[in-house]
Amino acid sequence: MDQLELLLQEIYGESLDESLYALLQQKVAEAKQGFPRYQCWSEKDVILITYGDSVETEGLSPLQSLHLFLGEYLSGLVSAVHILPFFPFSSDDGFSVIDYYQVNYKLGDWSDIKKLNQDFELMFDLVMNHCSRQSLWFNDFVNGTGEGQDYFIESDPKLDYSAVTRPRTSPLIVDVYTRQGLKHVWATFSDDQIDLNFANPKVLMAFVDIFIFYLKQGARFVRLDAVAFVWKLLGSNCIHLQQTHAIVKLLRWVMEQLDPNLILITETNVPHQENISYFGQGDEAHMVYQFALPPLLLHALNRGNGHYLTAWARDLVALPKGCNYFNFVASHDGIGVRAVEQIIPKHEIMDLAESVHNFGGFVSMKSNGDGTQNPYELNISLFDALQGTRTGSDQWQVERFLCSQKLLLSLQGIPGIYIHSLTATANDQALVEQTGRTRSINRHRWQRSEFETLLSQEHSAQAQVFQRYRDLLSLRKNISAFHPESAQRVYDCGDALFVLQRGDAPTANQEVDHQSLLAVFNLTKHPQSIDHHLQLPQAYQQQCKDLLSEEDVLLQEYKLKPYQVLWLVAKPDIA
């Protein structure tokens, strides 16, 4: 058997219809014709995460407005744009998809997507686990006829579902009144997001078609939303099942047939070891969301203590060839804490949640099998989450926030920057009141004129952050040490600092270049010396150049200001 046959066998076992193999081969062969070619990832790759309507301009469609805004301010600074689900939807700000093939008319149309793709590479979401209750597929199920009539999972509410991993507190099994009478269906996330039945091969083939369609519409990156839950087996925890991993491998196989430089990303907000299981043996996702990073970094800056951040980063395993991390510290979904349940003690997670409440945010909970609840997600804008420490607000918000972003830009992998980090957006309490959803706190819609007015005001958060962030991106893209595959080593220089080296340590008499870099972060609001500098490579114990300040630095004599960051390169006179 070849790889495709093995994968189909792994998914469907003895029930496999042999015609699926030929059908998939045909779909891929047809898609290959005229397919574009992409370059391999590099240090120039930075992905902006945004909704289609995050920046609005009077007289333009939201996608047109976004394109003009990005073209004016971020051309050459970000390489790709992740447009969060831009399809017709019924809830969850796009993640309850009604029609996978259409652009939401309130945002624009496919021509707007194609124009944006002329200037930026694109990332699309493939929302696989569920679709909208208002979709045509689910309408078919209700009517008992048509393509979608057998696309969903009928369930018996009297059975025991206590083993099922739940990301929400809503009921798992929901009632549906159909032409055949009352039925009960599986709904992992909400009663408007009905889970699809991948045990039916027609569902898998439908999503392969959608997947290929997105690639042909210009998506170089495809993000598999909530993919960990797609296969259901009663009596199991219904997460990370063997068939789920095989489906991810199958989509990777499709990409590799079309262009090896396409990138598949899995979104699995779960403990770290479970998350990185989606690399497989280098045959599943090209990238996984680095879900442990946002809560670890927020915790470190909230406490002025990077103990857990450093220990976690030092233990990161070598990645399979061709795989890497999608690093982010803020997103449309807030800051998930599941990934650090086995890293940060529970009482410190609760302390962090208390700080989030104090800074105007919310805490979403998840249900456990025993009827208890734990924090699942911190709903707050990152800029406001960093307005202070566990002792309260202070004057260091901007510097603390920029420290977080510099750390994001320094780590091995490709950085994903949420647009509301770039724009230093505060909590949108009005939108929470309007929608009734706590996640809306971090989903502000800027009027471009409003943003540019704030940008022109010297003391606004936007004026203090936006241009400095753009300068960072302009500098970073020319530092080859930040290539996604450049080596990474983390040093323990005390809890007040986070220290990492990118690239191999420079050798004696090497000319100054950007192949190797030492990044030093002061995680506190107090000046800090580098007391453990002797454990660092010899090259960095001599006089270095800090690329951020353009100053010469001798580490053993240097004291970092509160939240200061150094990007150090060795000078050519090293011994």
User: pLDDT tens for residues 41-96?
Assistant: 999 999 999 999 999 999 999 999 999 999 999 999 999 999 999 999 999 999 99
pLDDT tens for each residue of 273-295 = 999 999 999 999 999 999 999 99
Q: What integer pLDDT is reported at residue 572 of this predicted model?
A: 72
DSSP class per residue in 436-463: --GGGGG---EEHHHHHHHHTSTTSHHH
pLDDT exceeds cutoff 60 at 509:
no
Phi-psi region of 450 (alpha: psi -120 to 50; beta: other; left: phi over 0): alpha
Count Cβ neighbours within 10 Å for each residue of 22-58 and write b for 16 or more, e otherwise: eebeebbeebeeeeeeeeebebbbbbbbbbbbbbbbe
Global pTM value: 0.95
Q: What integer pLDDT is reported at residue 14 of this predicted model?
A: 84
For the segment 185-195, the average pLDDT, to the nearest whole number, is 97
Averaged pLDDT of the chain: 95
Task: Sketch out the chain's domains with CATH numbers.
Answer: 47-132+196-481 (3.20.20.80), 487-570 (2.60.40.1180)
Write out the H or E segment, with its range, that includes residue 23. Answer: helix 19-32
pLDDT tens for each residue of 359-381 = 999 998 876 766 677 888 999 99
Least confident of 109-118, 260-269, 366-375: 366-375
For the segment 208-219, the average pLDDT, to the nearest whole number, is 98
297 or 506, higher pLDDT: 297
Cβ atoms within 10 Å of 237's Cβ, excluding its own: 13
DSSP 427: P
Task: Read off φ and ψ for residue 211, nearest 5 degrees.
Answer: -60, -50
- Active site annotation includes 225: yes
Partners of residue 324 on adjacent β-strands: 287
Confidence bin at 507 (pLDDT 50/70/90): low
pLDDT exceeds cutoff 80 at 430:
yes
Task: Read off φ and ψ for residue 441, nearest 5 degrees.
Answer: -60, -25
- pLDDT > 70: what percent of the chain? 97
What's the 3-state SS for 208-275?
HHHHHHHHHCCEEEEEEECHHHCCCCECECCCCCHHHHHHHHHHHHHHHHHCCCCEEEEECCCCHHHH
Confidence bin at 532 (pLDDT 50/70/90): confident
Return d(Cα 382, Cα 106) in angstroms, integer: 28
pLDDT exceeds cutoff 90 at 183:
yes
Spot the catalytic one: 92, 112, 225, 333: 225
341 or 185, higher pLDDT: 185
